[in-house]
Amino acid sequence: MSQYYNSNRTRNLYDANSSDLFRLSRGRIDNFLNCPRCFYLDRKLGVAQPPGYPFNLNSAVDKLLKKEFDIHRANGTSHPLMNEYEIEAVPLAHEKIDEWRDSLRRGVTTQIDGTNVVITGGVDDVWVSPTGEFIIVDYKATSKDGDVTLDADWQIGYKRQMEIYQWLFRKNGFTVSPTGYFVYCNGNSDKEAFDGKLEFDIKILPYVGDDSWVERTVLDAIECLKSDDLPESGEDCDFCAYRKAAKEIEK
């Protein structure tokens, strides 16, 4: 077993009777929507799917973008991309910005009434409009032919991510613009040679979020965890197809 995976985890399991707070990240809410069964196996019983391994190049792009926007945050100025896209805002300077960006240990959080569950999310950035409205921003990096868009079915996860962050900030009492932005970096692989450099085209894609589904979904996820019954599987899951096929052969 690799150092990254424990197939029988005994920590961070949901226990409705515990007085300890139980952190449920926005990514786990997404897992619940995709398949309640795997969500339950993971969060309640400690048997999770093997993780994806870190996308270090994407992380490097995120880190550099953060540094770049931080310069404008410190100066109270708009980034040139914001001017190009006529977005009237500046990167938010707030004492908690680093806490909100720390998805692993802190993040933006809200505890659900009557439960020990705390929903958490780590934003990439928050901008602020002249009227004080928060604007949620997410950085994305890819390398593909043609323009980046938000049109593919699988990008529903990006949209949900944005909507959960918008909900979390509203739960914390902030006014949040329904329009968030994806700062989308597309690595250009059409160059004559690599030459040790990867250049990116950067676009800002607006997205109008609707967080009306979030609260209900969070409550459903908690109910799922409280239940003693293993929930049904999601549909069209490649992992399940693999598990079934392997089980048949091993009989």
Q: Which is nearer to ligand SF4, 29 or 92 (CB)?
A: 29
> Of 131, 116, 120, 207, which Cα lies nearest the Cα of 165?
120
DSSP state of 76: T
Among 57-65, 82-90, 154-162, 232-240, the segment contacting ligand SF4 (CB under 6 A): 232-240
Sheet holding 117-121, edge to edge: 22-25, 117-121, 108-111
Q: Which is nearer to ligand SF4, 38 or 87 (CB)?
A: 38
Q: Which is nearer to ligand SF4, 30 or 70 (CB)?
A: 30
What is the closest distance, in whole angstroms, from the C-beta atom of residue 7 to ligand SF4 in the complex?
A: 13
Q: How many residues does the chain have?
A: 251
Among 12-20, 50-58, 64-72, 229-237, the segment contacting ligand SF4 (CB under 6 A): 229-237
Task: By CB under 6 A, tell whether 4 contacts ligand SF4.
Answer: no
127 neighbors 175 (Cβ within 8 angstroms): no
Query: Parallel, antiparallel, or unpaired for β 179-187 and 134-142?
Result: parallel
Q: Which is nearer to ligand SF4, 35 or 183 (CB)?
A: 35
Task: By CB under 6 A, tell whether 157 contacts ligand SF4.
Answer: no
Query: Which long-range contacts (C-beta less than 8 Å, at least 24 apart) are formed by 128-132?
Result: 128/89, 128/90, 128/91, 128/92, 129/88, 129/89, 129/177, 130/88, 130/89, 132/175
Q: Which is nearer to ligand SF4, 37 or 106 (CB)?
A: 37
In the block, tokens 């990240």 appear at 25
Task: By CB under 6 A, tell whether 244 contacts ligand SF4.
Answer: no
Residues 18-77 that bind ligand SF4 (CB under 6 A): 35, 37-38
54 neighbors 3 (Cβ within 8 angstroms): no
Among 54-62, 80-88, 147-155, 236-244, the segment contacting ligand SF4 (CB under 6 A): 236-244
What is the closest distance, in whole angstroms, from the C-beta atom of residue 63 to ligand SF4 in the complex?
A: 30
What is the closest distance, in whole angstroms, from the C-beta atom of residue 246 to ligand SF4 in the complex?
A: 11
Strand ranges (E), the chain: 22-25, 90-91, 108-111, 117-121, 125-128, 134-142, 179-187, 200-208
* Binding footprint of ligand SF4 on the chain (CB under 6 A): 35, 37-38, 233-234, 237, 239-240, 243
